[in-house]
Structure 1
């Protein structure tokens, strides 16, 4: 009798796993969506996601910029390790400037290190879909997602069309259906830059995005397998208010013969001529509202400084300040600052079969998103800078020991 009871108990435990309903995950990034926009503005759907799933605040990686962080979300590596160390940077070995708006460099796979989650998944037999995520339309390691859109193709899909495309992919026959879908939306970043985070324009944009995400979720609920779909909505960085009276000019302290170039795209990267690093560093000591570091002395918590493309001198302004000679602008917004500043941190919402309900998770770092996605897909991850350990509290169930929690870069 004891053996029979034990067998029945074992079967009751194993049958759900043996049934093995395939779960799907849709992750959406809303560029520049600060963690507290849901407190500042009316967001009924994001509030619904918090009640029915998980809410958290997430740290971006440094620098808190769009391309570095979207590629970090995809690879689980800090920008220092995957190579997209800023939206633009000087590549001395190539004699050219990488820039996200320059198709020649943006589409060059050799700039992109690490392995995006869509490649990891496809190597293990899982189809993926993608709408404009950084790196998805570039042949990294010679591969693309199973389904994807080229960002430079025109006309570019508007937001409603992107939602329709996500739902179209989910409606494919089961053998052709992507198990992971990643989608990128350019807003509210534009409105934060142009009008500041605290503006009627940004308010209106946040409200519209909340409605759009509700439309996506409602579309998912119409699927016959809706109970098997996870939805994650997050972002790459926050936004801080800036103004012309909070600018620091560094060029006046430097002699042109000391440096090859200055890229002041927050943080300012100064590429020194041979033997001039100390001269630049010493000349900038004592400036207010900035921190100045030699490349080798950037604080460890920023995880920045080993990559060959990082400048010899880094000048990082305080929150809300800019390193620039150009003060011809109105009050607006900027990002790229220290990720420990609240204004740079981002919203995280997740709901679906794998997430707890009504759970508020601790703050975590965006390098762990890759590990989370790998777990949701049931695949073995590459080594990364993140860890499932950091986010496992938001999950309904987790094995005692998972490869996704230990497979980290050493």
Structure 2
């Protein structure tokens, strides 16, 4: 565990470590209505980077047993781009990234003349960047108490609402303490007890980035997660509550080609375009519209081992083109490398494991398991898109969806008893 912690410190952006706020934040004056006190419970666990095949590849026996008593998908298809922030927010809004506004881990907004970066805490906590209605907001609006031990968006008052109980991201809190917090929440009086809990676990993603998804370190991280989930389930089983677990991930991982990386194409005039950090997806935002077409034509002639798309020509299956860009945050052009290659404009040391590529690639596929009284037992289902998780959770909790979403309950309705 010391090795994992050291790597997290090395890899994670400074904001994740700089402000060691380990206190629980509680929004006062919240309580479950009498009606909501009778509802089931959902614990939504994200294991960042848990590729669809790793539980079996590394023989994570507890997760194998838990999914065997419930539902297991062949895979879950992440939204494009298959990156952490866009997909975590998709899971809790039921919206594709271009529809909820987090179109990348880093992107530029022309209207605001500002850049959003996952490493900028001020932006991360600014609710004006976030569209949609996260599950905890939906629940709180309907007088159901929620809690979050980390999730993208949970530190920001989206629509003026945070979870009743939440933490600012910090790796300073030991995993056993986090698990104990879940039990503590579930032993609160009925009017104060959260019925939706989100719980985020970053360890697998970190080890894959540093050593690759096939590495011994990634295997050790999967086993660490396996033990933690088993501990949480055993600890909460004693409470005799109607607890439903959904364990999933945001994306998969591929071993990157760190030798043959792609340099800045000479066709790009950096004085004419804003280019946020990006290696598996590069956005080009033109300072002047007249520069787009000439640059596009030149890039198309140069393109080797990557594709270049105008905003109007991005593949429709990604739901990422100009007509889907509700917040106008996707570049006038995007450059998409052919996996496992990636761009390295700034000649930095490259990570061994990468994600963010075409969400149709098997290596980008995520995990979905679910068990508890709401779910059928010993059920295997085909791969599905992650936008459908939102209406599933809303149905289990008896919440009314109040806005148009991209997910549909019909897709996952068959997993329910």
TM-score (norm 1): 0.87
Contact kept in structure 1, 2:265 and 2:299, CA below 8 Å: no
Q: Per-residue deviation at 1:341?
A: 0.6
Q: Is the radius of gyration larger for structure 1 or structure 2?
A: 1
Residue matched to 2:234: 218
- The CA distance in 2 between the partners of 1:309 and 1:328, in whole Å, is 26
CA contact (8 A) 1:73 1:369 kept: yes
In the other structure, the counterpart of 1:71 is: 89
Contact residue 361 and residue 393 of structure 1 kept, 8 A: no
Q: TM-score, normalised by structure 2?
A: 0.86
Query: Hey, what does 2:401 align to over in structure 1?
Result: 381
Q: Identify unmatched segments of 5+ residues in structure 2.
A: 1-34
Q: Partner residue of 1:406?
A: none
Pairwise CA distance, 1:328: 5.1
Which position in structure 1 is the counterpart of 2:178? 162
Change (3 A) 1:314 1:164: same
Alpha carbons of 1:301 and 1:270: their partners in 2 closer, same or farther (altered >3 Å)?
same
Q: CA deviation at 1:262?
A: 5.1
Distance 1:256 1:177 in 2: 53
C-alpha RMSD of the superposition: 1.8
Does residue 29 (structure 1) correspond to residue 46 (structure 2)? The answer is yes
**1:277 maps to what in 2?**
292
Partner of 1:240: 254
The question of 1:230 aligning with 2:244 is answered yes
**Pair 1:209–1:262, CA change in 2 (3 A):** closer
The match for 1:54 is 71
- Residues of 2 paired with 1:222 and 1:149: CA distance? 25
How many residues end up aligned between the 2 structures? 374
Give 2:339's aligned residue: 319
Deviation at 1:150, TM superposition (A): 1.8
Tell me the residue number matched to 2:21: none
Distance 1:91 1:21, change over 3 A: closer
Find the counterpart in structure 2 of residue 348 from structure 1: 368
Contiguous gaps of at least 5 residues in structure 1: 1-17, 397-410
1:261 matched residue in structure 2: 275
Matched, 1:149 2:170: no
How many angstroms does 1:21 deviate by?
Answer: 5.8
How many angstroms apart in 2 are the aligned matches of 1:310 and 1:151? 27
- Who is 1:407 aligned against? none
Report the equivalent of 1:40: 57
Kept in 2: contact 1:60–1:365 (CA 8 A):
yes
Partner of 2:101: 83
Find out whether 1:189 has 2:205 as its counterpart: yes
Q: Secondary structure at 1:130's aligned position in 2?
A: strand
